[in-house]
Amino acid sequence: MSNARNLARLLPNTSGLLPDTNLAAIAASKLSGAVPVANGGTGATGGALGSGQTWQNVTASRAFGPNYTNTTGKPIVVTIWGQSGGVAGNKAVQIFTDGGASGINGFYTSTGNNYATITCVIPAGGNYSAGADGVALGGWVELR
């Protein structure tokens, strides 16, 4: 069933609400490619975060410092954790996007092997990097 017919069925008497306007036809014209929720779809066109994406462990190909670019054509989620290694003191991990700080997770540890974790959404085409203070890279995963 087409988007226009779905909307016409859901909004059958929209003509006349506004002068010379059929809201169902206008709304349908804005939904090109979307899967109508009324037909069991999600409304997503395939570009939504998580659609067709899986978590990838990219620890072996990532490091604190270098810049990376999201070339997937979709937003991605980046999760990084730093490991204290049992050394006392202030610790932190941080994600930077397109040159600015997007978030930081810091903690103090006196003993033990503690972790700081941070997660950030990177837009399609966005540049990102990670920094750390007092921690080694414990892991880096991306929903891509």
Residue percentage of the chain with pLDDT more than 90 = 42
Q: Does a structural domain hold residue 48? A: no
> Which residues span the domain enclosing 18?
3-39
15 with 86, same domain? no
Would the pTM of this model clear 0.85, i.e. be above it? no
- Write phi, then psi, for 10 (nearest 5 degrees): -75, -30
**Measured distance CA(22)–CA(2) in Å, rounded:** 16
13 with 60, same domain? no
pLDDT in tens, 94-120: 999 986 777 778 888 777 788 888 999
105 with 35, same domain? no
Residue percentage of the chain with pLDDT more than 70 = 67
Which pair of tokens denotes residue 23?
């809201």
Output the pLDDT for position 45: 56
Q: Does a structural domain hold residue 50? A: no
67 with 121, same domain? yes
Instruction: Say how many C-beta atoms besides its own lie within 10 A of residue 65's C-beta.
Output: 9
Strands of the sheet containing 136-143, edge to edge, are 55-57, 136-143, 76-83, 115-122
29 with 100, same domain? no
Number of domains composing the chain: 2
17 with 84, same domain? no
35 with 59, same domain? no
